[in-house]
Amino acid sequence: MRALRWAGRFWTGILVITVLLAALLLGLRLLLPLFAAPPALLAAAPADGDAGVTPRTRLTLRFNGPMNPRSVERAVLLRPATAWLPIWSDDRVTLTISPTAPLLPDTGYSLTLDTQALSQRFRALERPIELRFRTAPAPAVVRVLPENGTVDVPLDAPISIRFSRVIVPADAVDTFDTPVSVARELGIKAHDADLHHVLFLHHMASNGVEVVKELM
């Protein structure tokens, strides 16, 4: 009987400690927002009012401090409705919204962030944020050489197609390849063609250049 009494007291103590810890955590959850500055949006890309945004763009939101990722993702509304994936910086300060498909061309978009978005310390935005931008029109052919109807065109004459904006077909560009073995022999740095090809295309796409798989 004495052993049972000691066991009962032990588990009662564990239960009391558990309840106290839960109450402490709940109290901290309620008190932390009182001592933290509210989150704020420092920068956005595209910025509010931007036009001519490439349909393949990614949207970036940079805050003044670490955020609570799940709350921010639930608070984001992109219209027209578009499926997207969240990409957070390691410090949880910057959210990159990566659409799973290109945006519609020549279309007005709005990105709304409501007050459900919380900082890492559970402080909410003071007011909703709305950003508006417009995507660029679909690329159009503005000139073709030789022109339509031209006769007696030399067999070696180049064919030129000019678009309304820069377009880079991924299958029409390439870079040199220097394997590690060759680089060691020559005393230079290696240069993996496949890797750098993808990196260069990604860099161009990130800077507003239209990158397509191929021109049909």
Task: State how far the Cα of 204 lies from the Cα of 197, in Å rounded to an integer.
Answer: 11
User: Based on the domain organization, do 59 and 115 belong to the same domain?
Assistant: yes
Residue 207 CB contacts under 8 Å (≥ 6 apart), including other chains:
none
The owner of tokens 């220097």 is 178
CA trace torsion 60, 64, 69, 70 (10° rounding): -100
- 91 falls in which pLDDT band (50, 70, 90)? very high
**What pLDDT score does 63 carry?**
97
Q: What percent of the chain has pLDDT over 70?
A: 86
User: Based on the domain organization, do 118 and 148 belong to the same domain?
Assistant: no
- 23 falls in which pLDDT band (50, 70, 90)? low
The owner of tokens 């007050």 is 115
CATH number at residue 97: 2.60.40.3710
Section 109-137 average pLDDT: 94
**What pLDDT score does 190 carry?**
86
User: Based on the domain organization, do 159 and 82 belong to the same domain?
Assistant: no
Q: What is the pLDDT of residues 44-55, one digit of tens each?
A: 999 999 998 988
Residue 56 CB contacts under 8 Å (≥ 6 apart), including other chains:
102, 103, 205, 210, 211
User: Based on the domain organization, do 19 and 67 belong to the same domain?
Assistant: no
User: Based on the domain organization, do 104 and 161 belong to the same domain?
Assistant: no
Range of the domain at 165: 141-212
Domain count, the chain: 3
**What pLDDT score does 32 carry?**
56
Mean pLDDT over the full length of the chain: 85
Of 19 and 61, the one with more pLDDT: 61
Q: Is the pLDDT of residue 207 over 90?
A: no
Lowest mean pLDDT among 21-35, 108-122, 143-157: 21-35
Of 73 and 5, the one with more pLDDT: 73
